[in-house]
Amino acid sequence: MKLSLCFLALLAFASCETSFRPHEFYSEIPKTLEDCPHKDGAEFYVGLFSHFGLGTPKQIIFECLSDFSAGILIGELYTANQILTDINARDFKHAHHDIVKQIILSFLGHGSANCIVATQDFSDLLEALDIKRDPFLDGVGQWFDFQANFPRLLEDYKPVIQNLDHRNFTAAGAAYGDVLNHTVAAVKSKGFYFLGHQGVANGFSFGLDLDLPDDTLGIWNDTTSAYDLEFAWESARAVAEGHWWDSYENLIKYYEEKGADVLKKIPASVWEALQKSEDNKKVTERLGIDVMTKEFGELAGHWIKKNQWKYHAYSKEVLKNLEHLDMIHVGALQAGLVREIARTK
């Protein structure tokens, strides 16, 4: 469910390499909004920049936008809202189709996006948002927030979409300013790794057909989340990159050589709080066993020994989705694994 960074650049604060230059759209650059063949997109950016107390972004409007790219921008906004709607409804079949559509749209609009991120207007927007120009962390931070906080984002998008429906593009741009503010605040306050961890937790709940996690989220912070994600990533890599018939041995080798030390960096109080949480009680009721116990760990070990080819395939899928930053799918895969292990009880 990875969105392209160029799509994020067009709507927010990522950056992409490009050989694209302004002026490619026009034989004569328009000088006023009335001259623009793309007033919809121009008005959107006027509204967005006014939301932050900034003047009209003339470079973006007159040098980077075209009628075509303005249409792409509006299409991406509608599609982003639909992806949020799909995730919220747990309709992942349609979510996948809409993400593919979004990637295609962002590819079609990459020239304009690359032009935009090279402008002083864009630098002014970054300054207003108080963020640095980092294409990876900024783009991924927004995508992680997308997966972690889709209920909030779905509410944030409502006035954007409503104003687009009524062709009030200036108001839509101003409303999108709130979307950016809230995302930046989430990344700054919660942290990059915490949001990724929350996306996994959401996917785990989806996979077990449970409500979204509640009291367990306050137990984690950005540092402990980073260690948890590191363990998930590296253990999956250790198994996925080996032979399937060595899956159990490769997992044990990783654990003994590195994994145990990674997990030790997470305080014991975190694991104790998790086991006592209401969220864990719901998981235990659903599975018939507490996944935080030694009993479950022993079951997992026996299952992996007997099903090394399955565990190898699972690890390859987890690694692929981690590399694609598809945290919700990672959580759903984890849920499927623990469900299968629990059945052997």
pLDDT digit string (tens) for 89-109?
A: 998 888 888 888 888 888 888
Count Cβ atoms within 10 A of the Cβ of residue 256 and give its class: 0-12 exposed, 13-18 middle, 19 or more buried: exposed
For position 69, what pLDDT does the model report?
A: 87
Confidence at 37, pLDDT banded by 50, 70, 90 = low
Take residue 129 and report the two structure tokens written for it: 């948002």
- pLDDT, averaged across the chain: 88
The predicted pLDDT at position 33 comes to 57
Average pLDDT for 209-220 = 95
pLDDT band at 18 (very low <50, low <70, confident <90, very high): very low
User: For the segment 168-180, what is each residue's pLDDT rounded down to a tens digit?
Assistant: 999 999 999 999 9
Give the model's pLDDT for residue 92.
Answer: 83
Cα separation, 18 vs 119, whole angstroms = 13
Q: What are phi and psi of 12, to 5 degrees?
A: -145, -105
Tens digits of residue pLDDT in 44-63: 999 999 999 999 999 998 88
**DSSP class of 22:** T
Q: CA 159, CA 274: separation in Å to the nearest integer?
A: 37
Q: How far apart are CA 201 and CA 262, in angstroms?
A: 19
Q: Which of 22-36, 210-224, 272-286 shows the lowest per-residue confidence on average (mean pLDDT)?
A: 22-36
Q: What is the mean pLDDT of residues 3-12?
A: 39
Cα 85 to Cα 67: distance, rounded to the nearest angstrom: 28
pLDDT of 68 reads 87
pLDDT cut 70: percent of the chain above it: 88
10 pLDDT above the threshold of 70: no
- The model's pLDDT over 284-311, given as tens digits with 9 standing for 90+, comes to 999 999 999 999 999 999 999 999 999 9
How far is C-alpha 327 from the chain's CA centre?
Answer: 7
Q: Which residues contact 321 (CB under 8 A, 6 or more apart)?
A: 327, 329, 330, 333
Model pLDDT, residue 87: 92
d(Cα 341, Cα 299) in Å, to the nearest integer? 7
* pLDDT (mean) for 54-81: 90
**pLDDT tens digits for range 264-273:** 999 999 999 9
Q: Rounded mean pLDDT of 178-187?
A: 94
Residue 44 amino acid letter? F
Tell me what the mean pLDDT of segment 242-253 comes to.
Answer: 97
For residues 315-323, give the mean pLDDT: 96
**pLDDT score at 114:** 87
Quote the pLDDT of residue 137.
66
Cα 258 from Cα 142, distance rounded (Å): 30
Check: CB of residue 171 under 8 Å from CB of residue 163.
Answer: yes
Q: What are phi and psi of 130, to 5 degrees?
A: 60, 50
The amino acid occupying position 92 is F
- Predicted local confidence at residue 311, as pLDDT: 98
